[in-house]
Chains A and B, each alone.
Chain A
């Protein structure tokens, strides 16, 4: 099973404060653990929302709003893609994410839909979707 491990933003991440050397060391050690255990498929960190934008939909209307966005807890600061046996195993890994600065933060775990789980989609659509993935590739795995 694949899970997307979503790291929620914090005031510090939104402020664009760079990680301290200790934070980098700890995170690298954790990533090494993931690789050594054979569970890391991909992972990236994101810039603050000040470098992003949102598009709001209302019927045919499209409204673009540039970042930064205020509700920090709902923003995403990074993610991992893990290949594990169960939700419990994924949670167990997430509990080990270092919290070097000791502050409050949140990580959300969500299961990835595999194409065989698209029960209601016509096979032809699933295949076209996969064809598209084949052409465009996929997020690059760092593991």
Chain B
């Protein structure tokens, strides 16, 4: 059946596309062109494979098809140059593509592709779209659906990103030692952003979009294979594995969000927790001061190790947030630190800390600030003020599910015993 063949071709694409584009990019020194050549090869495959069957080595077939097209293009360019020569112009030596790709090289090519797709010359949105497209093997349609934007918007983003890379003359290489840390931070940031969009959708009616979490987790695992000596890469993998382990518990029977302290921990995925803890150990074993992802993973690990909410080591979590605030200062980290302090030392101390954040411009539209504040006020029995805060938070969030939850909490603000509610760390 044609649809079966198509699905099989798509599966091959999912597995092969990143390596294909990476190998081609090294050859033609242009990520945009490499991606177009790969797409052309895919079109050929979709035309031919349903009739001929999938070749024994589909990756090699696609690479050969794409390389042939590349050579054609270079020949055409050469003919053009000859014509130029006839009118007495100097030309540079012909660049003949290197068609031999050793097995070890492909990892280097992939790493180059990762750094190129996440290059700081691109906007964050462009980095995300390009990373999912070039490394995750997603179609523009899949990316558009994941981020709830029109497909044309994503397609345009990708076209513009490729042009930007070409115009800036971004070399297809792994950055030099002196800028490597900053560039790696950009890569990790893009993958984390993709995961987070899936984990707590910023807009729309779904609390989570698990497919996007899976894509990000897979990208992170791939990166750990490409850069095994980077502790922060393992830190990111650890963080994502542990966060993903809670997916099943974060959504109630009707799709509503379930907060961390109310989750049924029996529903956490033990295999993912175990993998996450192993990655965290790997990050720590590589030594050096813990970076922001390893610290966040260590915080997630505290929750993962607690068999019941009461077992949570809040003092340790507060200390980890303090360390995180030093290496990656941000008002959001301060807010989470305040939540942990509140759990360790009580709501009054925490409220003092949160009140210091109320006028921070960066948190002006951040719905979790009034949400946390409302929670602390409720615990202190100041229900009328708490209700105002929850309503304010509900008006700020763009996620429908979250809005419902916050309005329910506002409605529940009456004198009486206050429940223990903790926000999932948003950082």
Contact = CB atoms under 8 A, between A and B. Distances in A.
Q: Do the two shown chains form a genuine complex with each other?
A: yes
Interface string A116-143: 1000000100011011011001111101
A92 B15 CA distance: 8
Contacts of B14: 85, 89
Contacts of B278: 141
Contact of A92 (B11, B214, B222, B275): B11
A138 B274 contact: yes
Contacts of B307: 134
A8 B57 CA distance: 24
Interface size class of A (residues with CB under 8 A): 20 to 34
Nearest to A89: B11
B395 interface: no
A128 B266 contact: yes
Contacts of A131: 266
B8 interface: yes
Contact of B271 (A35, A128, A138): A138
Given A35-B225, A38-B220, A140-B274, A88 B266 contact: no
B63 interface: no
Contact of B267 (A38, A39, A115): A115
Given A92-B8, A92-B12, A130 B225 contact: no
Contact of B266 (A37, A83, A114, A134): A134
A132 B166 CA distance: 55
Contacts of B219: 38
Interface residues of B, number: 31
Given A85-B14, A86-B7, A93-B15, A127 B266 contact: yes
B212 to A, nearest CB: 12
Contacts of B218: 37-39, 83
B248 A133 contact: no
Nearest to A29: B103
A89 B9 CA distance: 9
B270 interface: yes
A88 B10 contact: yes
A36 interface: yes
Interface in B265-322: 265-268, 270-271, 274-275, 278, 307
B192 to A, nearest CB: 15
A44 to B, nearest CB: 14
Interface string A88-129: 110111000000000000000000001110000001000110
Nearest to B223: A38
B264 interface: yes
B11 A116 contact: no
Given A88-B7, A88-B10, A92-B8, A37 B271 contact: no
B-side binding surface: helix, strand, loop or mixed? helix
A141 B275 contact: yes
A4 interface: no
A86 B11 CA distance: 8
A138 B225 contact: no
Contact of A38 (B10, B222, B274): B222
Given A92-B8, A130-B267, A37 B15 contact: yes
A127 B107 CA distance: 42
B209 interface: no
B208 interface: no
Given A88-B10, A133-B270, A127 B264 contact: yes
B275 A38 contact: no
Nearest to B12: A92
Interface of B: 7-8, 10-12, 14-15, 58, 107, 214, 217-222, 225-226, 248, 253, 264-268, 270-271, 274-275, 278, 307
Interface of A: 35-39, 41-42, 83, 85-86, 88-89, 91-93, 114-116, 123, 127-128, 130-131, 133-134, 137-141, 143
Given A38-B220, A92-B12, A137-B274, 7 more contacts: A85-B214, A89-B14, A127-B264, A130-B266, A130-B268, A134-B268, A141-B271
14 contacts: A37-B15, A38-B222, A38-B225, A39-B218, A89-B11, A89-B14, A93-B15, A114-B248, A127-B264, A127-B266, A128-B266, A130-B266, A134-B270, A143-B275
